[in-house]
A and B are shown apart, each in its own frame.
Chain A
Amino acid sequence: MSRRGAELRIGAVSYHPRVVTIWEKFIEHFEHSGVPIDYILYSNYPRLVSAVLDGDVEIGWNTNTAFVELEQQLGEQAPILGMRDIDAEYATVILTRRGEGFEQAGQLSGRRLALGSRDSGHAAILPLYYLRQQGFDAETGCELIRFDTDIGKHGDTGDSELRVVRAIARGEADAGAIGEPTLAAFRGERLAELADIEVSWRSPTYYHCNFTALPTLDRELTQRWSEALLAMSYDDPPMRPAMTLEGVKQWLPGDRSGYEALADAMRQTLP
């Protein structure tokens, strides 16, 4: 398919080879919807954020961390053009071995807490933030075991979360934070290490990924593109495999209300 006629360039991060499969299929959808796109892949989110800010792409498919960084660098609000259904109900869970759970955040005191990549909103930044909100500073109250793999990909690969689960299963950590969808995916894959691991704590929900543009992007064009995105259907046979890979069953309109906690956390923890 020729992409010369693309009206919009979408930037995304290549956290896995399947990203190509996903976007090659999405290209077909937007072509059929009359808003032809092309996609450009970056190896990490800081580079994608720069690409959006520099106008190398019109729209970035950002993690929540990347979105907050983008707005912080931009110094103003950036339009959100859409998100996945699961992005609107994201949560972090803290796992423990069966029978070693806790009721209150403070009961984690003195335990070894495993975290995913330090730039992952769901597996590192937000669990620390929400525990602090609940009156427990895990950075001083716990021995933190960080798995800082795939830095720059904001936890997309799931690798650091798998290491968190393994550390708990092997007794190398007493508790560990991972994304709720990651746990559901690991359960779905019958990950053996999860056999005697359970959820002890669940964070408030927050928003995760979104499509972000600059305020200068033509409003009518962004509107048409958002409509085309929302029209993508999981019941459309050609699109179902790509949507499954992307972890979306329904696209939702953009909404700003679910990023405050992360923005607050990043203001507190990042220089």
Chain B
Amino acid sequence: MTRELDAGALELGGGLEVLLAASIDPMQPGARLLVRTPSRATAYELHGWAHRAGHRAVAERLPDGGPYELEIERGAHRGVLADPLPARASGPKPADGRMRTSELRWQAEVPASTPASCGFAPLGSIPELGAPRFDWTLNDRDTIWADDVAELVDQAGAAQWDAASAVPWDAALELSEFMERAVSQVMTFIAQNEYAALYVPARFLPGVNPAFPEMVMWLSRHVHDEARHIEVFTKRSLIGGQASYSLASTELSLHSLLEEHDFSGCALLLNVLGEGTFLDLLQFVDQHAPDAATRAAAALAHRDEVRHVHFGISHVRRRIALDPAERAALVAVAERRASKLTQMSGLSPLLVEGLTIMAAGSLQPAELSHGADAVKGLMKTMETNRLKRLAAAGFDPQTAQYLSDLHTPNLM
């Protein structure tokens, strides 16, 4: 059967080629398309288009005055080296005007594993053959997944903030010298740790198989959150004009964190233990910082870190539930790191000093005593909450206590 196409005033280079392709591509090899045009020039030029597109011009009619016709037989090759697109069906549905990330899987479950060689094929797309082979490293769902990762992606997307304007920066300008030194040191310490919190997920990101877009989005948002934390705490440390130290003991702790290359191991060390402990630190700063800028920075970062800690707990719990042997493997991860930190003994005195002055609000002995009590309370709170988080992640009380004891004195 020959299908007919009236080209109207369209010319090649002016849209006719799009109409031709849309008409002939879906046809069966050998089927014919009769193109009619009022332009003899276009009729002539259609031959070249047909041959270039892999079809054959089989008959031509050029009557004086037109209209002119060229009959084109569709070639046998496939336009795209893939199976034909399936018929249009229903897609994911938004609810209350929102399109949630979990809806990406409206059609099929998350696959347990996916070939390491696959490319950047968005969900639902049909990959064309002939693409280069990739070699992703994270191809098994269970080694990276958390059941609520899609929801966390949405939460992270909705909770972005602007470090340039979300903090009342002017409020940080009038602190006394001793207080500014204390705040600047604490801010520098936090910023230093936030670097590691960025570099660890960032290193996993390019290994994630693109068939797990939720993980790609989650790690990207995690990284983006940490970039904002580096920004906000660096800005706060600088704004008062008071320099402070980036401490070697912190470097040692973070260096050992970056030496861990197992995804779940990092989820335990960074998300559950490190960022978990930082939740209490940030809350302490939010409560005791002398200025609204520092308090706001800590409160905003805390909001993000809650998500990261939630992911870590959710991932580790799932991992252990699927494979109880993973529990021992994770303990070994913590032991391995602790063995590299044997030279560390307690939180840096400079940091303790800074936190104490913050909590005291002055250098008056009575208030300093109150500040020292607050820091002791913080350490206790950190341990209590660490044990709770480890329990939530699937560790029994004894193992949780052991892991908490192994945790770095640097907090992260």
Contacts and interface: CB of A to CB of B under 8 A. Distances in A.
Interface of A: 85-86, 89, 91, 93, 101, 180-181, 183-185, 187-188, 190, 194-195, 198-202, 234-235, 237-238, 240-241, 249-250
Nearest to B130: A237
A-B complex: 10 closest residue pairs judged by Cβ atoms: A237-B130, A184-B48, A198-B41, A249-B54, A184-B52, A199-B44, A237-B129, A180-B48, A202-B44, A234-B77
Interface of B: 11-13, 17, 39, 41-42, 44-45, 47-49, 51-52, 54, 56-57, 75-78, 81, 129-130
B130 A198 contact: no
A187 B81 contact: no
A94 B46 CA distance: 14
Given A187-B12, A195-B13, A198-B41, A240 B49 contact: no
A187 B44 contact: no
- Which of A85, A187, A238 has the most chain B CB atoms closer than 10 A to its own CB? A187
A162 to B, nearest CB: 16
A198 B78 contact: no
B79 to A, nearest CB: 10
Nearest to A192: B13
A43 to B, nearest CB: 27
A199 B40 CA distance: 8
Listed residue (B11, B42, B48, B130) with the most chain A CB atoms within 10 angstroms of its CB: B48
Contacts of B81: 235, 237, 240
A95 B75 CA distance: 27
Contacts of B49: 184, 187
Contacts of A183: 45, 48
A235 B77 contact: yes
With a 10 A CB-CB cut-off, give which of B17, B41, B54 has the most chain A CB atoms. B41
A26 B48 CA distance: 25
22 contacts: A86-B51, A89-B56, A93-B48, A101-B41, A181-B51, A185-B52, A187-B17, A187-B45, A187-B48, A195-B13, A198-B11, A198-B42, A199-B41, A199-B44, A200-B41, A234-B54, A234-B77, A235-B77, A249-B54, A250-B54, A250-B75, A250-B76
A85 to B, nearest CB: 7
B44 A93 contact: yes
B45 to A, nearest CB: 5
A198 B45 contact: yes
Contacts of B78: 235
Contact of A93 (B11, B45, B57, B129): B45
Contacts of A86: 51-52
Given A85-B51, A93-B45, A184-B52, A249 B130 contact: no
B44 to A, nearest CB: 4
Contacts of A202: 44, 47
Contacts of A249: 54, 75, 77
Contacts of B76: 250
Contacts of A180: 47-48, 51
Nearest to A240: B130
Given A89-B56, A187-B12, A187-B13, A181 B48 contact: yes
A187 B50 CA distance: 12
Contact of A188 (B11, B41, B52): B52
B51 A89 contact: yes
A187 B56 CA distance: 18
Contacts of A199: 41, 44-45
Contacts of B54: 85, 234, 249-250
B13 A190 contact: yes
Contacts of A101: 41
Contacts of B47: 89, 91, 180, 202
Most chain A CB neighbours (cut-off 10 Å) among B51, B54, B56, B77? B51
Contacts of B75: 249-250
B372 to A, nearest CB: 70
Nearest to B64: A103
Contacts of B45: 93, 183-184, 187, 198-199
Contacts of A198: 11, 39, 41-42, 45
Given A89-B56, A187-B12, 5 more contacts: A185-B52, A188-B52, A201-B44, A234-B54, A237-B130
Task: Count chain A CB atoms within 10 A of each CB in B12, B52, B130 and give the residue with the most.
Answer: B52
A202 to B, nearest CB: 4
Nearest to A241: B130
A165 B130 CA distance: 35
Contacts of B11: 198
